[in-house]
Structures are given as structure tokens and as C-alpha cells.
Chain A
Amino acid sequence: MATAIEEPALERPAWSATLHEWITTVDHKKIGIMYILVALVFLVIGGAEAMVMRFQLLWAESKAVPPDFFNQVMTMHGTTMIFFAAMPILAGVANYIVPLQIGARDMAFPRLNALGLWATLFGGVLAYFSFATGGAPAIGWFAYAPLTERAFARSAATDFWIIGLLVSGVGSLSGAVNLVTTVLTLRCPGMTLRKIPLYTWMAFWANVQILFAIPPLTASLIMLLFDRLLGAHFFDAQAGGSPYLWQHLFWFFGHPEVYILVLPAFGMVSDVIPVFSRKVIFGYEFMAVATIAIAFVSFGVWAHHMFCVGMTRPADVYFAAASLVVGIPTGIKVFNWLATVYGGHLRMAAPMLFCFGFLSMFVIGGLTGIMLAVTPMNFQLSDSYFVVGHFHWVIIGGILMGLFAGLYYWYPKITGRMYSERLARWQFWLLLIGFLLTFGPMHVSGMLGMPRRIYTYPVDRGWELWNQLSSLGAFIQAPSYLIFVWNVIISLKKGQPAGDDPWDGWTLEWATTSPPPSYNFETIPTVRSRRPLWDLKHPDDPDWKYE
């Protein structure tokens, strides 16, 4: 029985030495952990902002918070959750897990890796520095021109927001260049492209998408900054510029961004479901190809966010059809996950519980997405609470559920300790119930005509009940995140020692100690199949005979 390395009873290093070690580290695992911690802090901040909004919307004609503050909080909630919570947490998990899964000792460029982390954090701090100008920007997270122009957003808050996103964009890009290079060049002997674990495969394609999606955002933010600081005219209709172009450029980034976030979550689910069903993933090749299909198609659908802007009929038809096409590879994946579960010997530990949450909720979010892709329906529902309900359904029900599955799955590997299953179950059910109650009624209030982003609403519209249900749901959901954070902290100390391979896993990260040594593997492994640990545990019936 080889447990995690026993710490010899040495003197603990001074806290300043520990701090120095973490700040200057270039170890992909430490950087990954710091990414996740940064993201959790921003997740709590963004969640608090959501609470402010739900509190304000509890009653019709409410004046619980000032209107401009509401707009600021609304802007920062979206910005924080996408750029400083979701992106870093996914970057963190990828940083930690991908080198282990491909049998590498570190990322291809360890110092660039550290740059990515610190740029992301610095970007987040800069964006929040906007509060110091007297209030955050009140422009919405997609920052439509001309509202963002100097004439309408007069304070420097918007400039801080722009610069914050530019800096964190540098972080995302350096992370993506690093990860893509790592997967292409540092795979262990025997791991051909067709033997890559699905999590690594999908994180890889999400990062390929970052390569193409973030630079256009960077370029558009620079143009906006030039408009604001140097008096340029890109989005100034009076001078011949075009607010419409901003919408195209932003969504050319913004739509792939959704898949940048969801593909790694797909990958986590694709690794967890087989291990917890005790079966090989159904249709590995189809999963792999469907990932590529999603990555490509997602770059051709951006203007379905813009049907109401008044595009041409052919453009409407094209973007509606292309958006529906995304449903095909995604559907293939859903059926493959279900087929993997089918007939399996299920273990309903927290990672699997969240996978089921993911499967059921993500399908519903996908279906409302198909509704919104149909242009005439979109004309009715655009910019209503239906849209808010839809994308939160995908982001929380899809991305976050999948992410929690992955985080619980790898928690014992990262810390060497087991999380508390009881707390995890509390978190799951509070999250699920709160989530259904928050975002379900939003579909109704949206259909009843409630526009998104409004500060308050009149009494006689029949929206009050639905808003109160949403707020109640939000207040149920909020503790679930705190329970997660608490579980992460308390299990570090009180969790049972997990051992190297608590789930009887099949991919290479389970072949090393928990937590892994700084060099990951004593000897670089050689693999012959997609489940190298299965081969090792079952020499009489190895996978490579059949793949």
C-alpha cells in the first residue's frame, strides 16, 4: 500500500518562503491550483453581484439599490463570470490535468504559463479597479456601441474595463498557445492523436478556439479604446463608423466563447462517466470528431445573437440554419454519454451525480437554444428574460455541472485527500433545486415580455411572481457555492487520505501519486491504448488488442 508521500516532520518553512515559492513557481500544478483559487474568488464576487440584482427585482417598483449601481453590477456580473471565473477555472483544471493525462512533466513553456496566470489575475484586478473611478462601467457585458463611446460612458471606468479585458486576453492567449503546443509536442511515447484521453482532447480544441476567438476581441477592444482615448471613429455612426460592426466583432468572439467554456466541461463528463459506469466510453471516435465539428461550426453562427438588428433575409436564414447544425454533433455526444451509462455498473458518487445533473439540464438548455435559433421566435424573445434563462441554463446546468463533476473527480488527485461526500450531496441538491427555481421562471417572465437588464418593472405586468420565484431560487442556490468552497477548504485538513487511484481510473493522472511530485512521473510512461491503466491492471485482457 503506497500512500501519498509521508511528510517527514521537518520544520515548516516560513510563510514568506511559501508565499515566495508560490508566486515564483512555474510548476503547472501549482499554477493550475492558483488559477482555480483566483476563479473561485471571482465566482463568489460575481455571485454576490447576482444576489444584488435578484434582491432588487424581488418586488415591482422596487428601489432597493440605486439604478446606476444596478447597471454597474449587471455589467460586472457578466464580465466577472465569463472572463474571471469561468475562463480561469477551466484554464486551471486544464493546466493541472492535461500534462498528467498525456504523461508529460510540465507544460511546453512553464514561464509563459506563469505569465498567463498573472495576466489573468491582473486583468481581473484592473477591471475591478473601475470601481475606484466612482463606479464600475454600466455598459453590459457585451458592451454595445455607441453606449460605450465617450459621449455616453463618460468616466474612466469603461477604460479600465477595456484594459482589464485586454490584459486578461493576453493571459488567455498565452495559456492557449502553451496548451495547444503541449498537447501537440509533449505526449508520451505511444500516445498517438487517436489515443488522447477525451478530456485532454476537448480541452485541446477549446484552446484551439481561443486562438481564433480572443484576437478579434483584442482587436475590437483596441479599436474601442482608440475611439475613447484618441478620438478615433470606428463605432461612431456620425463619422461613417458603425456600432453594427462592434456587434459582429464582439459576437464573433462571443459565440465561440460559449463553446470554449463548454467543451472542457464536455471533456470532464466524458472522462467521469466511463469510470463511474465501469465501461469504455461509447463511440470514442464519434466523440472526438463531434468535438472538432463543434469547434468549427461555432465560428459560423455568431450573428444569431443579432437577428433583431435587421440583417438581410439570407443572413437570417443562414445563421438560423448554421445554429441548428450545432445541435447535431452535440446530440451525438449526448447519445454517446447515455449509451455509456446504459448497462453500466453505476457508482453514484458526487462526480457521477453532477454528470447526471449536467446531462439532464444541458439537454434542456440546448433545446431552448434551438428555439432561439429559429429567427421568427427570436424576434419575439430576443433581449427578454427568456434569453437570460436560456444561457444561464447552459452555463450553470451545462458548464458548471460538468465542471463540478470534474473538480470532485480530481480533488483527491490534486490534494491527496477525499472531499466530503455528504457536503457534496448537499451542494448538488441545493444547486439543482435553486437552479431550477431561478432560471425556470425566467423563461416565463421572458415570454410575458419582460426585457432583460431592466432595473425595475411596473406592478401590472404579471411579472412579480416569476421574479420572486427567481430570487427565491437564487437565494437557495447561493449557499451551494459556499458549501463547495467550504468543502474544498475543510477536506484539505479533515478529508480521508485518498490514495493514488481512488476511483480505479484508467488514464495516466491516476498512475502517479496524489498529489503528484513536481516532476509528475519518475519514468515517462509508454502507452498502447486509450486506457493505459486498464492495460496495466488487466495484463490478461488489455485494451490495445481491440482498439
Chain B
Amino acid sequence: MSSYAGSFAAPGGTGDVSPVARHSALTPAHVGMLIFLVTEVAFFGTLIMTYVYFLRQSTQGEPNPSQVFHLPMVIAASVCLFSSSATIHLAERALRQGRRHGFLGWWGLTIALGITFLLGTVREWADLIGTWGLTISRNLFGSTYFTLVGFHALHVTIGVITMAIVFGLAARRQITEQNMTGVEVVSWYWHFVDGVWVVVFTLVYVIGR
């Protein structure tokens, strides 16, 4: 039996063959991030579905959502998070144009906005737990609220840490406009985390109030 290893080497006679994947603009890293985000959609979808299913189902009374939320602070934190989608976009564009300081500035601002959002969450949770005695075990509302908002906050935290790493690499000139893949996929992740917050915010603080 003969081996065909290497028999494909000769390019002759393959005139109309179009190399499919090679000329795609999307590298494996890009596609991998998109597909990872698909799994995240399924994960958050389940938590969100559960929140909807249990909306106003708690039988153990107070505290309930109409009492505890302090909206001005939540809105302020949310504005920080939403605007960070714009700043990360500006950072990406600055890097693509080779403006390194512009990139570091906008990217740093994005990190700062993410941290501000997290501080808002810390403040809110301190209020919920300290003032209202609402914990994950207090009632069903607490269980669903802390799980959904907590997992979102966990994703924001992971995003902030990842962006800090990218910031460090860029500051040491190890990330430049020549190798932007990392910057691009991290920013996709960040946009996704923002997008989830649009849904969570609407559900928890508007519809579910």
C-alpha cells in the first residue's frame, strides 16, 4: 500500500481551488472569542430566565425589590459602564491609527470606568446587606438578585483584570498596532458584558421593581 503523505504538495492542476479559511479577516482567536461569547449568552440566558420566572414569587415577604433599590446610584454606575463601551472603542481606534498615548489614555479610562461601576456595586450591596438585611439566603428575591447581578459583576471584574494586563503589555510596547488581536477580542468581551448589563438593568431595576 502506498503512502499519500506529501502527494498534495504539487499545486499543479488545482487552478480553480479557492483557499477558504486562509484569507478570512477573522483569526482563530477572533472566532474563538465569538464562540466563547455564545456560551456566555446561554449562561446568562439561563440566569435571566430564572430571574424572570421567579419575579415576585418570593413568599418570605420583605425586603422586596420595590423597597430596596436606590436608583440614582445604580443609574450613575450604569452610565459609567455604558460609556466605557464608547471609550474602549476609541482606544481601539487610537491604536489602529498608531496613536499609542491615545490608546493608553482611553484604555485606562475604560478600566477606571469599570472599577467605578464595581465600586457602585460594592456600595449598593453594602446598603442591601447592611441596611435592609437582604442576603442570598434571606428570601427568593435575594437568591435571584445576588446570583444574577453577582455573576455580571464577576464578569466585569474579569474584564477589568484582563484590560489591566493588556494595559501593562501596551505600556511596555508589547502590544502595538501590529498585533491588535488581543485588544480586539478583549474589547468584544467588554462590549458583551455591557450588553448583558442593558438586559439585567432593564429586568432588575425597571421591570422587576
Contacts and interface: CB of A to CB of B under 8 A. Distances in A.
Contacts of A245: 50, 53-54
A189 B20 CA distance: 6
Contacts of B40: 215
Nearest to A511: B4
Contact of A501 (B4, B21, B22, B57): B4
Contacts of B47: 219
Contact of B139 (A177, A226, A233, A526): A233
Interface string A373-392: 00000000000000000000
Contacts of A222: 147
Interface in A285-340: none
B144 A234 contact: yes
A67 interface: no
Given A177-B32, A245-B50, A187 B4 contact: no
Interface SS majority for chain B: loop
Interface string A180-196: 11101111011111000
Interface string A226-242: 11001111101011111
A487 interface: no
A177 B35 contact: yes
A227 B142 CA distance: 12
A226 B143 contact: yes
A189 B60 CA distance: 62
B27 A242 contact: no
Given A2-B3, A216-B43, A500-B3, A526 B57 contact: no
A215 B41 CA distance: 9
Contacts of A533: 4
Given A214-B39, A226-B143, A522-B9, A499 B53 contact: no
B4 A510 contact: yes
A481 B132 CA distance: 60
B193 to A, nearest CB: 16
A2 B28 contact: no
A239 B1 contact: no
Interface string B44-70: 011100100110011110000000000
Interface residues on B, range: 35 or more
B63 to A, nearest CB: 14
A513 B8 contact: no
A406 B153 CA distance: 45
A1 B3 CA distance: 7
A33 interface: no
B13 to A, nearest CB: 8
A462 B119 CA distance: 67
B178 interface: no
Contact of A512 (B5, B27, B45): B5
A240 B64 CA distance: 13
B4 A185 contact: no
B25 to A, nearest CB: 11
A232 B1 contact: no
B207 interface: no
A109 interface: yes
B19 interface: yes
Given A181-B35, A239-B58, A223 B2 contact: no
Interface in A168-221: 173, 176-178, 180-182, 184-187, 189-193, 211-216, 218-220
B1 to A, nearest CB: 4
A512 B4 CA distance: 6
Interface string A512-525: 11000000011111
B131 interface: no
Contacts of B28: 108-109, 181-182, 185-186
B5 A2 contact: yes
A241 B54 contact: yes
Contacts of B144: 234
A215 B46 contact: yes
B31 interface: yes
B173 to A, nearest CB: 25
A185 B27 contact: yes
A226 B147 contact: yes
B61 to A, nearest CB: 10
A252 B45 CA distance: 12
B143 A1 contact: no
A522 B46 contact: no
A223 B136 CA distance: 11
Contacts of A233: 58, 60, 137, 139-140, 143
Contacts of A218: 43
B11 interface: yes
B43 A232 contact: no
B35 to A, nearest CB: 5
Interface string A144-187: 00000000000000000000000000000100111011101111
Contact of B31 (A184, A220, A527): A184
A69 to B, nearest CB: 33
Given A189-B22, A240-B54, A245-B50, A181 B8 contact: no
Given A181-B31, A186-B28, A216-B46, A526 B140 contact: no
B136 A230 contact: yes
B50 A526 contact: no
Contacts of A182: 28
A502 interface: yes
B6 interface: yes
Nearest to B58: A240
B87 to A, nearest CB: 28
A64 to B, nearest CB: 41
B19 A238 contact: no
Nearest to B5: A512
B188 to A, nearest CB: 14
A240 B39 CA distance: 29
Given A177-B39, A239-B58, A184 B8 contact: no
28 contacts: A2-B5, A103-B8, A178-B32, A184-B31, A185-B21, A185-B28, A186-B21, A190-B18, A192-B18, A212-B39, A214-B42, A215-B39, A215-B42, A216-B43, A220-B46, A233-B60, A234-B50, A234-B144, A239-B60, A240-B54, A240-B60, A499-B1, A500-B5, A501-B1, A501-B2, A522-B6, A523-B8, A526-B17
User: Nearest 8 CB-CB pairs, A to B?
Assistant: A231-B137, A189-B19, A525-B8, A232-B143, A2-B3, A215-B43, A215-B42, A219-B46
Interface of B: 1-9, 11, 14, 17-22, 24, 26-28, 31-32, 35-36, 38-40, 42-43, 45-47, 50, 53-54, 57-60, 136-137, 139-140, 142-144, 147
Interface of A: 1-2, 103, 108-109, 173, 176-178, 180-182, 184-187, 189-193, 211-216, 218-220, 222-223, 226-227, 230-234, 236, 238-242, 245, 249, 252, 499-502, 510-513, 521-528, 532-533, 536
